[in-house]
Amino acid sequence: MGFLAITTIAWREILLYLRNKGRILATLGAPFFYLVILGFGLDAILPIQGTNYFSFLVAGIMSMVILFHSMFSSLSVVTERQFGFLKEMLVAPIRRTDIVLGKAIGNSLTATAQAVLVLGIAFLVGFQMTQSFLNLLWMLPLLFLAAIGFSGMGLAFASRIKDPQTFQFLFNFLVLPLFLLSGAVFPLESAPSWLQGIVFLDPLTYLVEGLRALLLGLSQIPFWISILGIIVFDAIMILIAALLFRKIE
């Protein structure tokens, strides 16, 4: 029963994602411009040890996509509440945790797909992996696991937010700092020491570092620590989201 509820809710998220081709394309715009304009624009003036700035940025932008997509797909719960569909799930004879898990899994799969599309674009405009292509197989679970945590974060907020206008606030004061502090756009070692401490509190850092390890063999923290950090983050976020969902309406 629980399993069927989870897959059903996850499948709906995937179906809605696939059905809205315009949205897929639209959300690829920002990562594309970051990669091409920021990447190539700063390539000449920003020397990066062991690679170039464009290649360095690829993992950062993929991480950005995971963060943005997971967060904002999960926040759709707020509009589902407004349009009434949330009630259909809340009164069904299923556990609230199943709703959280179903949504997190569905959103994380689509976030992963979106990040893979960004990597495809990167390859098209000249990105070259220095590591084995087999690493791409490792990359998928890494992306997925990181997305689970951010989906959980989005769901936790969505359980409390009544007004979609709050999204702007969340973006400016949570999502953007998480993105910028993660080392997605600058190398960690170039950050001042006071900032370095904060950087390692940012869960996105572990995804960025893990991806760079897989794609370029470059990273400040060991791969297993990245994985561990992400799993801990997932557990905390899903737990919080599940607890908050039990209290809805």
CA angle 23–176–19, rounded 5-degree value? 15
Give every CB contact of residue 222 below 8 A, 6+ residues apart in sequence: none
Select from 18, 19, 33, 126 the one that contacts other proteins (CB under 8 A).
19
How far is 81 from 31, CA to CA, in rounded Å?
A: 29
Long-range contact list for 219-224, CB < 8 A, 24+ apart? 220/183, 220/188, 220/189
User: Residues touching other proteins: how many (CB under 8 A)?
Assistant: 27
Nearer to other proteins, 1 or 134 (CB): 1
Residues 143-182 that bind other proteins (CB under 8 A): none
With beta carbons less than 8 A apart as the criterion, state whether 60 and 185 touch: yes
Select from 42, 240, 244, 248 the one that contacts other proteins (CB under 8 A).
248
Tell me the per-residue interface mask from 92 to 131 with other proteins, x by CB under 8 A, - otherwise. xxx-x-----------------------------------
Q: How far is CA 225 from CA 178, 188, 202, 245, in A?
A: 19, 16, 14, 30
By CB under 8 A, tell whether 83 contacts other proteins: yes
**DSSP labels for 150-164?**
HHHHHHHHHHH---T
Select from 85, 138, 171, 223 the one that contacts other proteins (CB under 8 A).
85
Q: Which stretch binds other proteins (CB under 8 A): 85-93, 184-192, 209-217, 233-241?
A: 85-93
> Nearest distance from residue 34's CB to other proteins, in Å?
29
Select from 21, 29, 88, 189 the one that contacts other proteins (CB under 8 A).
88
Chain contacts with other proteins (rule: CB under 8 A)? 1, 4-5, 8-9, 12, 15-16, 19-20, 83-94, 96, 246-249
